[in-house]
Amino acid sequence: MARPLRLDLAIDEVDFVVLDAETTGLRPEHDHVLALGAVRVRGGRVSATDRFDRLVRPEGPIPAAASHVHGITDAMVADAPPLDAVLRAFAAFAGDAVLVGHDLWFDLAFLRREADRRGAPPIHAARIVLDTRWLSRALHGPGPSHELDVVAARLGVGARGRHSALGDAVITANVLVRLLGLARAQGIATLGAVVRFAGGP
């Protein structure tokens, strides 16, 4: 069980785990998770080694349109574990870190469905969450686009590995580091201040 974090912690004292999922489609009520990737950000640095990268065996075939986007095929996931096993491993990896993602609530909707099926609380139930889309919007205003590709380019973050779970998690982690630097420059220096400033849906 994740422990609640102190909201008065300085940003550089907080562990963030940046998460991304690849799926069979865009509808959490019908589609399934195919891959889960994550990377830890600690002390304002994206870890080169503290990473999580797992394929997931879905409950049915992968649509060709989805494979075209992320490159995951039925053969690649034939021997992968089911999502509940991957989620248990991810929970152990994440510990009590803040969960971060770009459009994080989209990914969490897929993971919540699996938790509901098992009668378990969702992965984010006892954790602080932060969405980089909302943080970007709070910092730069609603006018410019806040799609991940656009935000990354605006902040000088490369897009290598795009549309893989771990690749997108690493891109988002680098975006997070730059956004937190901009927040600090505005005097937003604690975990609680950042979460309140970013807001959310």
Query: Which pTM was predicted?
Result: 0.93
Higher-confidence residue of 121 and 181: namely 181
- Residue 153 tokens read as 């380019």
Alpha-carbon distance of 96 to 127, in angstroms, equals 7
**Residue 151 to residues 12, 139, 164: CA-CA distances in angstroms?**
22, 11, 18
Alpha-carbon distance of 58 to 168, in angstroms, equals 20
Nearest 10 degrees: Cα torsion 173, 175, 180, 186: 180
Alpha-carbon distance of 184 to 47, in angstroms, equals 21
Place of tokens 């991957």: 86
**Structure confidence at residue 30 (pLDDT):** 84
Question: In this structure, which long-range contacts are made by residues 185-188, counting pairs with CB atoms below 8 Å and at least 24 apart in sequence?
Answer: 186/139
- Asked if pLDDT for residue 58 goes beyond 70, the answer is yes
- Give pLDDT tens digits for 10-38: 999 999 999 999 999 878 888 899 999 99
**Structure confidence at residue 201 (pLDDT):** 66
Alpha-carbon distance of 128 to 191, in angstroms, equals 9
**Structure confidence at residue 155 (pLDDT):** 97
Question: In order of start, what are the domains of the chain with their CATH numbers?
Answer: 12-198 (3.30.420.10)
- Give pLDDT tens digits for 79-120: 999 998 999 999 999 999 999 999 999 999 998 887 787 777
